[in-house]
């Protein structure tokens, strides 16, 4: 495990950019510019190169397709959950909480049966799992790095929180529908049992 992490870092963009900047430090040393402080110059340039390098991108998972079958959607959600778990540590606290709440609610809804009889709701779930959530997270991860290099404008955190809130609104509406349906069913059973007695 530690060996694979070390090898992963050696191949990372941050290490490669740091090594390139460190080589510039060695050139400055051999030309006499760095002087007696050459180790600090080389280390400082390596660190600066590693800091400005773009982060490694976690690829958005490929999904099974447009099929509306609940089993396909559940499999796609499993891939989405793996992706979300890998990128959540890179998110600020507020979007991370929104994303955790959203995936928890999607998990609960997809565990619920009967979506085959409601194609419109199944479409909303499929769109959230296959398009909306991965696009919002991936767009944020890309914009975050560029915002560091060119400050100004709206922070990407503001947009991703708003996007996740809008997706969460749609998913909460579906959850409220399930809750109401279950409540009506429970009331009907109570009335039936009372009338029977």
DSSP code, position 88: G
Average pLDDT value for the chain: 83
pLDDT in tens, 126-146: 999 999 999 999 988 888 877
CA–CA gap between residue 31 and residue 24 (Å, rounded): 11
- What's the Cα-to-Cα distance from 40 to each of 22, 24, 26, 37, 78, rounded to whole Å? 10, 13, 11, 6, 47
Residues 6+ positions from 143 with CB-CB distance below 8 Å: 156, 159
Residue 66 has pLDDT above 60, yes or no: no
pLDDT reported for residue 191: 82
pLDDT reported for residue 14: 83
Q: What is the mean pLDDT of residues 61-88?
A: 81
Say whether pTM exceeds 0.85: no
pLDDT reported for residue 26: 86
pLDDT reported for residue 169: 94
Question: Band of the pLDDT at 1, cuts 50, 70, 90?
Answer: low
CA–CA gap between residue 82 and residue 102 (Å, rounded): 14
For residue 140, the surrounding DSSP H or E stretch is helix 133-149
pLDDT in tens, 11-41: 788 888 888 888 888 888 888 887 888 888 8
Decide which of 166 and 195 is more confident.
166
Measured from the Cβ of residue 177, the count of other Cβ atoms closer than 10 Å reads 13
Residue 78: which of 92, 97, 89, 64 has the closest Cα? 64
Domain boundaries, the chain: 2-52, 70-196
Asked if residues 111 and 83 have their Cβ atoms less than 8 Å apart, the reply is: no
Question: Band of the pLDDT at 95, cuts 50, 70, 90?
Answer: very high
Residue 149 has pLDDT above 70, yes or no: no
């Amino acid at each position: 495990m530690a060996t694979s992490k070390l090898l992963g870092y050696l191949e990372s963009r941050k290490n490669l950019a740091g090594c390139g900047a460190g080589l510039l430090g060695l050139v400055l040393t051999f030309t006499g510019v760095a002087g007696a402080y050459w180790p600090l110059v080389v280390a400082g340039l390596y660190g600066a190169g590693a800091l400005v390098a773009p982060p490694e991108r976690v690829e958005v998972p490929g999904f099974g397709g447009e099929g509306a079958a609940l089993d396909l959607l559940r499999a796609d959600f499993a891939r989405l959950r793996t992706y979300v778990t890998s990128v959540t540590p890179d998110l600020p606290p507020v979007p991370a909480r929104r994303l955790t709440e959203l995936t928890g609610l999607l998990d609960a809804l997809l565990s619920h049966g009967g979506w085959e009889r409601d194609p419109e709701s199944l479409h909303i779930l499929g769109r959230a799992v296959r398009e909306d959530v991965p696009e919002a997270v991936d767009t944020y991860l890309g914009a975050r790095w560029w915002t560091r290099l060119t400050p100004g404008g709206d922070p990407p955190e503001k947009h991703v929180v708003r996007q996740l809130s809008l997706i969460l609104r749609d998913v909460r509406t579906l959850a409220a529908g399930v809750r109401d349906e279950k409540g009506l069913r429970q009331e009907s059973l109570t009335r039936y049992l009372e009338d029977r007695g």
